[in-house]
Chain A
């Protein structure tokens, strides 16, 4: 009974959820994307862009990522499963490039073109990388911050991670720009909230308690930025604090509309997904693809967020 139920449970679940995948014709190009995350809105927007490209070009994609950005080994297991399906090409956003190298070599040997996306892969195997220039984007955030607080005062950074490439680039892009260009502004602290809304909220409250005269805070990703807004609201003391966020999502967009947040940097996640699949398809056809695809970034605030150019890259 155990066996029968066990298997029936497993297989009926598979049958229910996977009919589309099993029914696919064999001659269709298959491009799996192994991402750094899955459940955050940002990654869902990347997935959306990838699906859009897949529909346009008539290829089949899957999109997977580990539950959080520390699970390096889980991402490698996903990569291995993706390779087992003999894909035409592969999209990959490495959590840790070194750990993935043996599998990437295996893909290379099998003639499977690899396209890196988001923060890319430190290796010469990927034919191309579709990404945002995070350093430049964070520098833009620093410029906007300086402009809004009048070139002097104390600011803080709530970053999402101290080990990942994006975390380091955005933090350093912001901090270095302030140091280099705005002598009147002091970055009093950089704290980490793991991109978690709740933790970032607590971090923000602690920073504000320690520095009641703070002029502005930069949140380096969606979770961090929303955490900063929550923290400021919960504390209710710093009404004229300037908050600059990163990425979009409904909560962040609402905060900008309400004036709680001054503005935010947006990447183009839909574009990242779209360009990754597009480059993968080109590569399978033997066309040359550029080594770096800059998918671009914008600063948006209440004044421009409804412009078609901006609203197209914002996600809910």
Chain B
């Protein structure tokens, strides 16, 4: 028996473990630094109501980013998350306002519609072998159009569904701790993040998501039905977009059919800032959540500082590039 150089095998392992923790720490530290920086720059930034406004601004983008993370980890991409969210909101509107069904049914219909659309995208990708970029681009346009058709191009209001606006605007936490009226929308975001993190880290579905992104052919040759698992992941992402649809509809107390285009790019930006690799196989929900928070803090903070709107966009773009570059540098050094 030979003695293969064991020392050289051990060392990169330790470096990698450190790298992983280091990165999460970095993203989190950046978030904290932004918060501190803005607090120093403006006395109005760090106040409960503004923090809640930031969290609320994160909620929808955060949920969409979670959905996008799942698909991106498999090595795919989902461009339809924004318009799918709108589509699900419209479905909720049809079920609740036009058909007058009870609240719970509307929620279920929206999530179900999301999962179904995700499954359809997944079928395009897995069975028909259409590249994910194209399949979900098509889906994005289909859903944008369908939202306008189904709604009759008018916003659908939820005035007749008591309690609908409470899904996002109400505050269960606020009822227990009156000093901390965190809206339910934010609570739902964190619950979704917890669920998604569990699925990714602790279930077969999650493990196959990473495996697909890491080496799809190897997974297929291991006898795994890759098509089916891929479709399940797209369906799960779709269902999460459905929850996003409920959140935004509840927040606006209406389903706005023209909304949604452009949201997919912000979701993907949050995913990327959070350190998920666009080539798949690597990523965390915690990272995505921090990424979404960084974007919301940045936008809000620049506004509170009254930075001209033109420049806010420039800064956001610069931050995205810096964040991804930092990730590349880090990986280049450790990997």
Contacts and interface: CB of A to CB of B under 8 A. Distances in A.
Q: Please classify how large the interface on chain B is, using the bins under 10, 10 to 19, 20 to 34, 35 or more.
A: 35 or more
A162 B261 CA distance: 17
A14 B307 contact: yes
Interface string A66-102: 0100111100111011111110000000001011011
Given A13-B311, A73-B60, A82 B303 contact: yes
Interface stretch (B8-16, B99-107, B252-260): B252-260
Closest 6 CB pairs of A and B: A80-B53, A21-B306, A84-B50, A99-B252, A81-B303, A2-B326
A233 B134 CA distance: 35
A78 to B, nearest CB: 6
Contact of A96 (B49, B155, B169, B302): B155
Contact of B252 (A64, A98, A163): A98
A250 to B, nearest CB: 20
Given A6-B319, A72-B256, A85 B304 contact: yes
Contacts of B261: 70
A10 interface: yes
By DSSP majority rule, is chain B's interface helix, strand, loop, or mixed? helix
Interface stretch (B27-35, B201-209, B230-238): B27-35
Contacts of A9: 318-319, 322
B154 interface: yes
A7 B326 contact: no
A77 to B, nearest CB: 4
B87 to A, nearest CB: 14
B250 to A, nearest CB: 10
B22 to A, nearest CB: 9
B304 A84 contact: yes
B304 A81 contact: yes
B7 interface: no
Interface string B294-335: 000011111111111101001100110011001001100000
Chain A CB count within 10 A is highest, among B49, B57, B159, B307, for B307
A3 B53 CA distance: 25
A77 B53 contact: yes
B180 interface: no
Contact of A1 (B41, B304, B329): B329
B258 A80 contact: no
Given A1-B326, A10-B37, A73-B60, A81 B53 contact: yes
B47 interface: yes
A77 B183 CA distance: 14
Contacts of A71: 259, 262
Interface in B109-162: 153-155, 157, 159
Interface of B: 26, 29-30, 33-34, 37, 41-42, 44-45, 47, 49-50, 53, 56-57, 60, 153-155, 157, 159, 169, 248, 251-254, 256-262, 298-309, 311, 314-315, 318-319, 322-323, 326, 329-330
Chain A CB count within 10 A is highest, among B41, B47, B252, for B252
A14 B30 contact: no
A72 B33 contact: no
Contacts of A10: 34, 37, 298, 315, 319
Contact of B154 (A64, A102, A163): A163
A285 interface: no
B305 A72 contact: no
26 contacts: A2-B323, A3-B26, A6-B34, A7-B30, A10-B298, A10-B319, A11-B37, A13-B314, A13-B315, A18-B302, A70-B256, A72-B252, A73-B259, A77-B299, A77-B300, A80-B50, A81-B304, A83-B49, A83-B53, A84-B45, A84-B53, A84-B304, A96-B254, A102-B169, A162-B153, A163-B258
Interface in A158-211: 161-163
A17 B311 contact: yes
A6 B33 contact: yes
B64 to A, nearest CB: 12
A1 B290 CA distance: 18
A244 to B, nearest CB: 24
Given A6-B34, A7-B33, A14-B301, 16 more contacts: A9-B322, A13-B318, A14-B315, A17-B311, A18-B302, A18-B305, A64-B303, A67-B262, A70-B258, A72-B252, A77-B57, A78-B303, A80-B53, A98-B252, A99-B253, A163-B155
Nearest to B313: A67
Contacts of A2: 26, 29-30, 323, 326, 329-330
A163 B153 contact: yes
Contacts of A77: 53, 56-57, 299-300
Chain B CB count within 10 A is highest, among A7, A67, A80, A102, for A80
A3 B260 CA distance: 32
B303 A14 contact: no
Interface in A89-128: 96, 98-99, 101-102, 106
